[in-house]
Amino acid sequence: MDKDSIKGFIAARAAKELNDGDVVNLGIGLPTLVPNYLPEGVSVILHSENGILGTGPKPGKEDAQPLYVVDAGGSPASADVGGSFIDSSVSFGLIRGGHVNCTVLGALEVDAEGSLSNWIIPGKRVPGMGGAMDLVVGAKKVIVAMEHTAKGAHKILTKCRLPLTAVRCVDMIVTEMGVINVTPEGLLLTEINPEFTVEQIRDATEAPLRVSENLKSMGG
Partner 1 sequence: MKTILTPAEAARMIPDGASVMVGGFMGCGSPHKTLAEIKATGLTLICNDGSMPNGPDGSDYYGVAKLIHNRQVRKLITSHVGLNPEVAEQHNAGTLELVLVPQGSLAEMIRAAGAGLGGVLTPTGLGTLVQEAEHVHSVVEVDGRQYLLERPLRADFALLSGHLIDRRGNIWYKGTTRNFNVVMATAADIVIAEAEHIVEAGGIEPENVVTGGVLVDYIVDGGCADG
Could you list the residues that contact partner 1 (CB under 8 A)? 48-52, 65-70, 72-74, 76-77, 85-89, 91-93, 95-96, 120, 125-134, 137-138, 163-167
Beta bridge partners of 53: 47, 84
CB-side exposure of 131: number of CA atoms within 13 Å?
Answer: 26
- CA distances, 78 to each of 63, 64, 75, 132, 198 (Å): 9, 8, 10, 22, 43
Comparison of 118 and 193: residue with beta carbon closer to partner 1? 118
Least distance to partner 1 from the beta carbon of 25, Å? 12
Least distance to partner 1 from the beta carbon of 59, Å? 11
Catalytic residues: 49
Q: Helices then strands (H, E): number in the chain?
A: 4, 15
Comparison of 139 and 218: residue with beta carbon closer to partner 1? 139
Comparison of 14 and 72: residue with beta carbon closer to partner 1? 72
Least distance to partner 1 from the beta carbon of 12, Å? 27
CB-side exposure of 90: number of CA atoms within 13 Å?
Answer: 9
